[in-house]
Amino acid sequence: MDVLQKKPQNLAIHTNPSHDLRVVECEIPKLRPDECLVHVRATGICGSDVHFWKHGRIGPMIVTGDNGLGHESAGVVLRVGDAVTRFKPGDRVAMECGVPCSKPTCDFCRTGKYHACPDVVFYSTPPHHGTLRRYHAHPEAWLHRLPDHVTFEEGALLEPLTVALAGIDRSGLRLADPLVICGAGPIGLVTLLAAHAAGAAPIVITDIDENRLAKAKELVPRVQTVHVQKQETSQELGARIVKELGQEAKLVLECTGVESSVHAGIYATRFGGLVFVIGVGKDFQNIPFMHMSAKEIDLRFQYRYHDIYPKAISLVNAGLIDLKPLVSHRYGLEEGVQAFATASNPAARAIKVQILDD
């Protein structure tokens, strides 16, 4: 039986400016000529999804109406538009959810920096609905074929992996670079996996949660861990990081966006080193300006990613990065509200919560 006949309801997870979270039924989208209708089989809950639900905004991106969540998704093609040539029904795909305008008049799209396109449609970022739904229409150009042995769960995890790989590319990480990763949440852990594959050594990872540090050690046994103490200053934490690393860091990949964590990373960095911020934090933050000036420490940032999905798929396909252990909780689409409760509750000890639909 065709899945559309078996499951005619297009369920989705939505929030709104009142911070409600609910499972809703949407229309099954009509395809444009260049689109594929995808049955979304796996979607990870990102910290930004929780943030849009709980706080209603991330910087200038504000929830002003009913808003569908989710952008870490993989699934199977059910139908294709008249102009689609690369995919057919039954193909397994991961969805790249930042769709730029691709106009020849757009400098960013023309020069390959399409993630900076001012007219980009990023699914789940207001006012665009996300991919956390049963059926989603996606442009052919922004679908990526999954190898046969890469699961839908791994396909959904490619999105956070692309974030980590973009950071590693832009930071210039090289073999045997002494590295500090601040934060052992999902992005910190995929960054650890990618940095390990890239040959960083030694590596220290920090977090306030001992369970996440234990997970980091399980994923990469050679990593050294530093448990962040609430009462210590950023300078004290930086000194402990340096002691554990055995030297000052050439590179810090900051994956939390928390001001005190950024500071600790700065205090753990060598003269001429780089602190590269991947995490998302408050709109305005202080920095130890003169310390950075006296040590010529560079501070750089990242906004999403571009041209990374094929690389991420290759690394997973080759077995160089194993994403499977990152999924800690699984829920059905109808259990979406419960899934978000787990993802937002520290007591649940979740790493990556995924919502699945068979």
pTM of the model: 0.94
Rounded Cα gap, residues 88 and 233, in angstroms? 56
- CATH 3.40.50.720 maps onto the chain at 163-301
Q: Which amino acid is present at 15?
A: T
- CATH 3.90.180.10 maps onto the chain at 1-145+323-356
Q: Which amino acid is present at 34?
A: D
Q: Say which residue the tokens 């106009």 belong to.
A: 103
| Predicted pLDDT of residue 1 | 57
| Predicted pLDDT of residue 311 | 97
94-132 pLDDT, tens digit each: 999 999 999 999 999 999 999 999 999 999 999 999 999
| Predicted pLDDT of residue 166 | 96
- Band of residue 280 on the pLDDT scale cut at 50, 70, 90: confident
- Band of residue 283 on the pLDDT scale cut at 50, 70, 90: confident
Q: What is the mean pLDDT of the chain?
A: 96
Q: What is the mean pLDDT of residues 51-57?
A: 95
| Predicted pLDDT of residue 50 | 96
Strands 352-356 and 327-332 turn out to be parallel
Cβ(237)–Cβ(252) under 8 Å? Answer: no
Task: Check if CATH label 3.40.250.10 holds for domain 163-301.
Answer: no
Q: What is the mean pLDDT of residues 284-291?
A: 96
What percent of the chain clears pLDDT 70, i.e. is strictly above it? Answer: 100
Strand partners, 299: 275
| Predicted pLDDT of residue 210 | 96
Q: What is the mean pLDDT of residues 15-27?
A: 97
Rounded Cα gap, residues 263 and 259, in angstroms? 6
Q: Say which residue the tokens 């996300």 belong to.
A: 130
| Predicted pLDDT of residue 177 | 98
Q: Which one is the CATH code of 1-145+323-356: 2.60.40.10, 3.30.70.120, 3.90.180.10, 3.40.640.10? A: 3.90.180.10
What percent of the chain clears pLDDT 90, i.e. is strictly above it? Answer: 96
Q: Which residues contact 332 (CB under 8 A, 6 or more apart)?
A: 355, 356, 357
